[in-house]
A and B are shown apart, each in its own frame.
Chain A
Amino acid sequence: MNSELVQTAAPASAREAAPALSARECERSSRAALTLRVLAPALGAAALTALFFALLVWPLLCLLLGSLREGNTGDGAFTWENYRTFFGSRRMLGALWSSVWISLLVAFLSVALCLGPAWLLVRYRFPGKRVVRALFTLPMSFSGILIGFLSVIMLGRIGAVPQFAEWLTGTPWLSGFAYQLGGVLLAYFYFEIPRATLALEAALRKLDGRLESAARSLGASSGQIFRWVVFPQILPALLSTFALTFCVSLGSFGVVLIVSKRFTLLPLEIFQQIIASNRFPLAAAMSVVLLALALLVTLGSRWLVERFQPPVPSAR
């Protein structure tokens, strides 16, 4: 399959030349060439589509169907019961609500705070820039549990920060902060740093610096330049980064799995339904809600991004 697909690179010249050949010549041209040009891409596309239907579309359909059935086997009678249980449970609705607003808050924080380093990395040259950049990508493959653990050793009841504070001032400041809302937000922000910074950096790199120079030469202040020149240009990137960080936070449960003491989030509830109660249909219904929310935000942000795409400056 590999070699066949690779051969699909029918050069444009060959493709353009094809109609010029007479019908008889076409017939005479080896059947293999025709196969490679027409059949191979079709076969490749079919194979790739089939693979993703088997790995993604079919499982998601099973999830949807499973959420509408009784019992764990997936062949029970049709029922709305799982959704009724979900939307009737104060605890689960609370988890959904917490998930949404914590993800919103984290996404907002990530976009706002990571714009600084992204701007610095794009617009300035300084010694050790590569190292700084590398360090900013560090949390990228830390899973939530690892960050939860780091949060506990730093800000747990006898974490490093409270102990240091006690040694310094006599009071264990921030003791147990990891288990509070602020600690959870901080841990979530931790894994969003590389995601937000890299996404914003890519967008800022495309920014046309000449527009800012032009605005400056016309007497605009830094604030005015940001508000009227930079901001409209990066608004789509801000929106898509917001959606990206929101979705990552929404699906993450590792941090709260480690530090959950006070509150719960929707993915953690799903996890518990499976691990502790083995209630697959209910977990499936909750998953469908989570999935719908993630897709809604992703598609919504794309629609907004297209709406706010600035017109291309004609002077370019």
Chain B
Amino acid sequence: MNAARRPWLLLALTGLLLVLIVTPVLVVTAGSVLNTSFLGLASEQWVGDGRDAEALFTTKWFGYVLSTYQPQLLMSVRLAVASVLGCIVLGVPAAYLLVRGQFPGRRFLEELVMLPLALPGIVVSIALIQAYLPIRGSWWFVLLGHLLYTLPFMVRSVASAMRSFDVAALERAAESLGASRWQRFWFVVVPNLRHSVTLGSLLVFAVSFGEFNVSYLLCTPLTATFPNALYATYTFNSFQVSSAATVIFLAVILPVLALIQWLGGDELKVEQGA
């Protein structure tokens, strides 16, 4: 590649896509605090005609959303945190097993763990409901669906770290220096995995918090998640309330995504359903 020549076409295309990505986010943010009909849907809660300076800027819709949809927001946070914990407890040993283990069917098991990413979320949710109808009302049920779709991210993150730093060689070195099994685990394996587990956890949080396809059918009104609340505001509420709810969602998810990038999202790959 000729470094001196500027890739105008690539820059233009990238710029265009950036505008496409960012503009709606800015518009929805503006719409959540402005009492105006300029942006989008007509609103029954539209206050004044824009000349009333006091009514032009408002944050009251945030208060409305936070009070009305608090249970859903808390449920989503709880599910996301539980998914992270579950993925650490299940995913780290699973990755260890899949990378280091030598047993028949290892490849098959790896395929099985990664399989949910290739399956439409709505199909898996219907399958889960058919198989476990009696426990549908519990939030554990929703958690199972989330774990299914988040575990691959943790396993892949940890497994790729394990493949790259050659845990076996380091462990052998530690063993030759007289380290016991537990010492090797705590002082050799764990410190080397900290980064990938952190990255995996953030990914799991982001995926779980934004998940709609699987959760929507798994949820009952009592276990509804925040994306369900978003759908409810889009269907029943005014444009301002919907925008405020969207901005609250973004306020949770954007720092997580930024952190993922900052910590090294270079090896990032996402393929979960939208």
Identify the A interface with B (CB < 8 A).
1-2, 5-9, 11-14, 36, 41-42, 44-45, 48-49, 51-52, 55-60, 62-63, 66, 74, 113-114, 116-117, 119-120, 123-124, 130, 132-154, 156, 158-160, 163, 186, 190-195, 198-199, 202, 209, 212, 244, 247-248, 250-254, 257-258, 267, 270-271, 274, 280, 283-284, 287, 290-291, 294-295, 298
Contacts and interface: CB of A to CB of B under 8 A. Distances in A.
A252 B268 contact: no
B62 interface: no
Interface string B31-49: 1000001111110000000
Q: Is the interface on chain B under 10, 10 to 19, 20 to 34, or 35 or more residues?
A: 35 or more
B7 to A, nearest CB: 6
Interface stretch (B53-61, B64-72, B121-129): B121-129
Given A113-B13, A287-B122, A294-B120, A163 B41 contact: no
Contacts, number: 295
B189 A9 contact: yes
A175 to B, nearest CB: 12
Nearest to B217: A274
A116 to B, nearest CB: 4
Most A-side CB within 10 Å, residue of B14, B103, B106, B274:
B274
Contact of A144 (B39, B42, B207, B213): B213
Contact of B261 (A41, A134, A144, A295): A134
Nearest to A186: B20
Main secondary structure of the interface of B (DSSP, over half): helix
- Chain A interface SS verdict (over half): helix
A153 B206 contact: no
B132 interface: yes
Contacts of B207: 141
Interface string B199-224: 00000001101111100110000000
Nearest to A249: B274
Given A6-B189, A55-B147, A153-B28, A140 B93 contact: no
